[in-house]
Structure 1
């Protein structure tokens, strides 16, 4: 459901992949393609199948049925070490007794590459990942973020055709994660290796990837560019998983697409002559939460007594002078077009079990 058409320049192709553990379907007839040179995020909740799909591509898990192709070569039955991949896990197991330089060089040494080649490549990679000057340190002398950058350098050292990242920043604190997301995007733009990133963090996927595949219950719900998946979701599940959702007058809308005003006229954008005030709804302010430069306003629809949330700028909140208990008027400025038959109720049950 919601998957993209065939990718003509696919580096990775998965066809008809199924994987069951007893009655649990980890992968349910998955067709999936990754374009060469792309950074594709596998996004979904726990148990959605994203890590199983990544491990199947890596050769660490064998699908019950289906085929996996990397760069035109069927690798379904090929062992991991012969697939031309680099793999980085959330908890990177560095060799504690080896220095940063020796850790990064490890894969090249076991491949018996010439010493001069190893030295040049390791030095270049440490420069690229921002660890020049750390060559002689040991893993326990690095921060968590530095260890993950060392892990990426080690994975890239063997010139893999594909780089697979299984929640590589999941064990790090929020600020380090944010910094590493930006760093990973810059790194990918420099090295252009085809990369697949598993994450359950929607912001991480939107920040880093140029394509997102949203998984749920072992199936791929939608594949597309971040903006397309966010703005034109294939169904209620994709919409709800890619960000906060409010139910307003029977429609699913993003909280940041709700305009709040003191009067019905204020809830209508003056720049949009086509908008009529008939779409305006009266609501009560229940709670105001400051979120840095944004403000979350928790409201109750006066007509239906149902709660919903709007997200506005701090400047707008201050201009409106909002207080708990106030009456305001709201209107959705944008309502994503979902397939026919999708209702607000389907938000919590997008597909029958």
Structure 2
């Protein structure tokens, strides 16, 4: 149980409808001070509406938002002490990068030295130290988003809200910025809420993940707990790859592949029958760098599924399309569907 004095943001009984569509359906969530919490879910799950309600950009139909012990449900966004970064950030087109980042500090009438030092530090962190004199139109999309992050952080907000901030960037830039964001958070510990539909991003960056679906929170907890102990099939399917084996959802990397029934077993695991070994046909072998995805057809049911094995294991097996193999699940997560959100 988390004590109230360690909670930075508390949303209680939040409801929000747009016509007949329930964007938020009785949502409650506590976000600890200094944490980096990801709101993860598919399009239309309510994650951005929840974030915008915390920011004050959406007014709830009912429910409350408390930040740092203060009820801000009816408080304007400007008075909530938050930094907000959207996927498509609206910069001041007539201001240079330096002036954009410095804007919040200047209206707070900080000293020139304090502004210069802070802006220099942030531009260095986000990799824009050589772009101070450029205008937003002279930057790439990724550079503009890094400028937006620097600008949001410049005023040292109590809460940082990020709505798909890396969604428009290419994979390499996304990975670099995720690493930077995690490192920055570890240094400054600003309470951060990140909206994303990218499971890998949530697992990579967040201390805690709230999985949303159809306006409700399915499960809240640490990434490893949600991955290993999902509350239901939706959480398991959304938070990582899954395959269906013997009627159960399993992780592809938890499927053992062998050329004979015995080779699909580890030592002291009993017989092939007791361990649930089944016959499958290799449909395709896909090399993914260190890992290899084996696309398989269940000989008994005709269902397609896939296993993920290491490159070394694949080289030892030497698998080719059309061959018969034997597979089994080495681990089947225990899924206990719950009526209410599960705190992992």
Q: TM-score, normalised by structure 1?
A: 0.91
- Spell out the pairing of 1:28-47 with structure 2 (5 A cutoff): 28-47=25-44
After superposition, what is the alpha-carbon deviation per residue over 1:237-289, rounded to whole angstroms, capped at 9, x for unaligned? 0000011111111111011110000011111123xx24542221111112222
Distance 2:34 2:67 in 1: 13
- Spell out the pairing of 1:118-157 with structure 2 (5 A cutoff): 118-157=115-154
Shift of 1:153: 1.2
List alignment gaps of at least 5 residues for structure 1. 343-353
Farther-moved stretch of structure 1 (114-123 vs 84-93): 114-123
Residue 97 of structure 2 is matched in structure 1 by 100
Asked if the contact 1:145/1:180 (under 8 Å) is kept, the reply is no
Asked if the contact 1:20/1:64 (under 8 Å) is kept, the reply is yes
Residue 247 of structure 1 is matched in structure 2 by 244
Distance 1:115 1:244 in 2: 51
Asked if the contact 1:7/1:33 (under 8 Å) is kept, the reply is no
Following TM superposition, the consecutive aligned residue runs of length 4 or more in structure 1 with deviations greater than 6 angstroms are none
Farther-moved stretch of structure 1 (98-107 vs 195-204): 98-107
Farther-moved stretch of structure 1 (103-112 vs 69-78): 103-112
RMSD of aligned Cα (Å)? 1.7
Shift of 1:210: 1.0
Residue 326 of structure 2 is matched in structure 1 by 329
After superposition, what is the alpha-carbon deviation per residue over 1:195-247, rounded to whole angstroms, capped at 9, x for unaligned? 00000000111111111100000000001111111111000000000111111
After superposition, what is the alpha-carbon deviation per residue over 1:153-181, rounded to whole angstroms, capped at 9, x for unaligned? 11111111000000011111111111111
Asked if the contact 1:19/1:28 (under 8 Å) is kept, the reply is yes
Asked if the contact 1:7/1:35 (under 8 Å) is kept, the reply is no
Shift of 1:139: 2.4
Residue 60 of structure 2 is matched in structure 1 by 63
User: Measured at CA, do residues 74 and 275 of structure 1 come closer, stay the same or move farther in structure 2, by a change above 3 Å?
Assistant: farther
User: Given the alignment, which residue of 272, 278, 283 partners 1:277?
Assistant: 272
* Local SS of the residue matching 2:65: strand
Asked if the contact 1:285/1:299 (under 8 Å) is kept, the reply is yes
* Local SS of the residue matching 1:123: helix
Distance 1:340 1:67 in 2: 27
Residue 204 of structure 2 is matched in structure 1 by 207
Asked if the contact 1:232/1:336 (under 8 Å) is kept, the reply is yes
Asked if the contact 2:208/2:222 (under 8 Å) is kept, the reply is yes
Residue 342 of structure 2 is matched in structure 1 by none
Residue 188 of structure 2 is matched in structure 1 by 191
Distance 1:256 1:286 in 2: 17
Residue 292 of structure 2 is matched in structure 1 by 295
* Local SS of the residue matching 2:264: coil
Q: TM-score, normalised by structure 2?
A: 0.93
List alignment gaps of at least 5 residues for structure 2. 340-344
